[in-house]
Every structure is written in C-alpha cells, then in structure tokens.
Amino acid sequence: MATTYVGAIDQGTAGTRFMVFDHDGRVVASAYRRHEQIHPEPGWVEHDPVEIWNNTKAVVTTALNDAGLDATQLGAIGVANQRETTVVWDAETGRPVYNALVWRDRRTVDRVSAMRDTAVADRIRETTGLECDPYFSATKVEWILDNADPLKLDRTRADDVRDRAEAGDLLFGTVDAWLVYKLTGNHVTDVTNASRTMLYDVRDLEWDDALLEEFDVPRSMLPTVRPSSDEAYYGYTDADGFLGAEVPVAGALGDQQAALLGQTCFDPGDTKNTYGVGSFCLMHTGEDAVESEHGLLTTVGFQLSGEPVQYALEGSVFTAGAAIRWLGDVGLLTNDAQTAELARSVDSTDGVYVVPAFDGLGAPHWDCRACGTIVGLTRGTRKAHVVRATLESIAYQTRDVTTAMAADAGVATPSLRVDGGAVKNDFFCQLQSDVVQTDIVRPVVDETTALGAAYAAGLAVDYWGSLDELRWNWQVDRQFEPSLDAETAARKYDRWESAVERSLDWATD
C-alpha cells in the first residue's frame, strides 16, 4: 500500500502555500504562490477571493506533481488562513459579491471610532474577548453589505446586496470558510476563526444576537461553527474536481492558532510568536478564557473533536514583515536579505526609533488612528541606522506584548517559540532575545502554521493518535539567550515607549 501523508493549505496575507507532511512532521512536498494586494484607496486593502482559490488549486497540484505524489495518498487536508479577512459570496453561484476585505483594511476606522467608549465596545470586549477595532470582520461585512457594487464582480445580479443578504441568498465567511466551501461545498468555519469576527461569544460558543443586530449581519449568512479538528469532517473534496480524489477536509484554524498547535503549545503558559506580515504572540491559557487587563485579546486557541475549547491570550502586532517591505518600497533596501546585513553594519541605531504604525497600532495600544513615526534623526543618521531601527521595532513590539502577558499572567514569559520567515535569520533571533530579554527558541520545522493545520486534520482522521505523539515531532533547532544586559535593554525600551507616544492618534480625516 502506498504511504499516506497529510496535506495543509496555508492561505496567508501575502500568498498561499500547500505542504504535505509525513508522520514525523517532516515536509515532503511544498509549493507557494503570491497574490495581488489591491489598494483602491490609501488604507484600503483587498484580495480577490477567486484569485486565492485559483492559487490554492495551483499550489496543491504543483506540490503533489513535483513530489511525485498522488492525491489518493493524502489521508486528510487541513486549512490555516489569514484571519478576520472577510468574504461575502452568492450561495447559488458561489461568486463573491465583492473583493475580500483584508484584516489590515482601515476603511471602517470612523465607524469604529464612533463606538469607542460606548456600551457596544464594552459588550464586544466582554462577549468576544476582542477590542473594538477595524481589524476584525464585523465592520467589514457590514461595509460590504452597505457598499458593495453588485455589478462589479457578479454581473448576473443587479439587485441590492443587503436585500440579497436578508433574503438568505448570500454567505459570509473568513478565508477558511471560503476555501472549505470551494473544496467541499459546505458552509462551515472553525471556532478559532469564528472568535476573530467580533460577532462570536467565546465563552458560550455561539454567534451573539446583540452584535449581529448592531452590525446588521443576517444570521442566515453565517457559517456553522465546528471544532478545529473535526472527526465528523467538514466535508470531502470532489472526486470529479481539480484534485481527482475524495479527500476528507478535517481541520481548520486561523493561521496564528495553527502555529500554536504546530509549535505544540499544549500546556498553559506555552507561548509562541509568529513573524509574517504582522507578528502574533499567543500564550496558551488552557480551558480558562483569561480576561486581559493590559490590552491583549482573549481568543480561542484550538478545539479538538469532542474536547473543551482551549483558550489563548494574544498580542496582535499589525506590522512586522510589512515594515521590511516598506523599507524596500521607499528604496532603502533592494532585497529583504540586505536587512540584516545593513542592520549589522552599525552597532546601534544611534538614537533613531521607527514606529511602523502603518495600519494603526494593535496590542496593547489599540489605536486605529496611530501613524508611522521616525524620531531621533540627526545629521549623522545613515540608511543603516533607519534599517536597524526598523528591524528593532519588530522586537520592541514583541516586548510590548510579552510585557502585557507577564502582567496578566503574573509571571514573565520564560521563553518564546518562534516561527515565520524572519526567524531563519540568526541576527534577527538574537536581536529579539536581546530586546525582549527572554530566550528565543527556534524549532527545526519552522513552517509551523502549515504543520498545525496538518495536525488538526491528521488528529481527526487518526493519522496521529494523540497530542503526545505530536510533542515527539517538535525539535529545537537553536536557542538564543539575551546577550544584552537587562539595564541597557530597559533604558532603550523606555525610549521606544516615548517614540510610540508620539505616533498615537495622529491620523486626521
């Protein structure tokens, strides 16, 4: 009998990856494709859901073909996805009524600002565990229903989008739901993704009527919420479809929660940080939905079939890798690889601080009107100082959220398991350790997001028998310890906090 594997789709902000893993958690096939970032206006960020679906099919097919694998060798498929990004599509034709509104999109800033300091914001915090912010899906789906031009993407229908939603003709979902619908025909989402919509009660585990009413979202549009790893399966791929085989789609999680699973953060206190377009630090808190008093989110970590929901505290940082991309956009770098080289060419930033609040600031500040700021420039400032300050900003933002976590938990984070593109670079990891003043642990398999999605699907089909089996697969590649003394690190961090103050509430109408 041919060897079987588990496949994982990792649909991220910048592109889509498909990976195939063996029982030891080793990668046996992989393919990746970027998609277009659409910016109709400053602060607006959209993706074309059809392009994402086409890319998904392309990477799955390419990865299998390149590795000489057949789809029948896949025991299951799992999905990890950029979270909060909002898709609305026609239940009959399966066509989106508008582009996806991406988590980074700021077009609903005014709507959200008007809700700040009201009873709605309190309800959001108490019920969903989230802060009232444009980041989450609720104001995005509301915007699509109120503003989508029905003629733009779906030329077969000309009647009003909101009327069609109320008549039960439209479906809403985050990107997991969109892909699972395209793969299986079923309209479902997992509990971690539901927890990012600002519409879901994370303790009672149901859609919240009051918030649905506030954002005018008809219940008929909502997907059914299922465990992240589901023995009942979300559905099967179509034997007559692009894959040519009936494979169970048996797990899905938001990408940051997938990384939590992939990093085997199964015990309360286990913490991981993933560096992508943004960076997202999650601490597992077990069956307790711990309420943060320091600007963190209470979110669902994962749920296995038939088991209670596991919660996490999250520090969401909107701009990490995107800050490096910006350095390229303004001509300070010709490629990402130059970043560490230039940063290392100077001993310090010479007093320069870059606060990359391009999409506002997430945790722990939650200021959707914050703007990017550079302070400390002198006549002696060189390109390398600005590049180093930008790289250091990623570490300072991590320290912001680990400080909040320590305050909430009452103990300092002993170590951070890290993953994502940037952690391949040793200089970057050492910088994190020095600034954050904690051990940084890099695992052998750093594609932990895809691995976590594979684990969710593989546990559901019994490819892996227990969490203990997964623990065996996790191996340390390298551990970085702080080489900067605590006092110097604290002094520099004070200056960072002053720089952040200057970036707050800067945007005007």
Query: What token pair was written down for 85?
Result: 């990004």
**Residues found near ligand G3P in the complex (CB under 6 A):** 12-13, 82-84, 103, 254-256, 276-278
> By the 8 A CB rule, do 7 and 20 touch?
yes
| Smallest separation, CB 459 to ligand G3P (Å) | 21
| Smallest separation, CB 481 to ligand G3P (Å) | 26
Which CB, 35 or 164, lies closer to ligand G3P? 35
Q: How far is CA 265 from the centre of its chain?
A: 17
What phi, psi does 35 have (nearest 5°)? Answer: -130, 170
* Residue 12 to residue 161: CA distance in whole angstroms: 27
| Smallest separation, CB 34 to ligand G3P (Å) | 12
| Smallest separation, CB 56 to ligand G3P (Å) | 15
Name which of 446, 443, 451, 450 is nearest 475 in CA terms.
443
Q: Which residues pair with 253 in a beta bridge?
A: 80
| Smallest separation, CB 103 to ligand G3P (Å) | 4
* Residue 13 to residue 82: CA distance in whole angstroms: 6
* Residue 463 to residue 399: CA distance in whole angstroms: 38
Give the orientation angle of helix 255-262 with respect to helix 448-460, to 10 degrees. Answer: 80
Which CB, 227 or 278, lies closer to ligand G3P? 278
Rg (CA), the chain: 22
* Residue 232 to residue 226: CA distance in whole angstroms: 9
Which CB, 279 or 403, lies closer to ligand G3P? 279
| Smallest separation, CB 317 to ligand G3P (Å) | 10
| Smallest separation, CB 221 to ligand G3P (Å) | 21
> By the 8 A CB rule, do 128 and 311 touch?
no
Strand order in the sheet with 86-90: 46-47, 100-101, 86-90, 170-174
Q: How far is CA 177 from CA 6, 13, 58, 193, 225, in A?
A: 20, 16, 19, 9, 10
- Around Cβ 452, how many Cβ atoms within 10 Å? 33
Residue with nearest beta carbon to ligand G3P: 276
| Smallest separation, CB 196 to ligand G3P (Å) | 7
| Smallest separation, CB 104 to ligand G3P (Å) | 8
Which CB, 134 or 276, lies closer to ligand G3P? 276
Which CB, 316 or 413, lies closer to ligand G3P? 316
Which CB, 272 or 492, lies closer to ligand G3P? 272
Which CB, 43 or 351, lies closer to ligand G3P? 43
Q: Which residues pair with 74 in a beta bridge?
A: 5
Which CB, 83 or 272, lies closer to ligand G3P? 83
Which CB, 37 or 305, lies closer to ligand G3P? 37
**Residue that has been written with the tokens 């960076």 in this structure:** 279
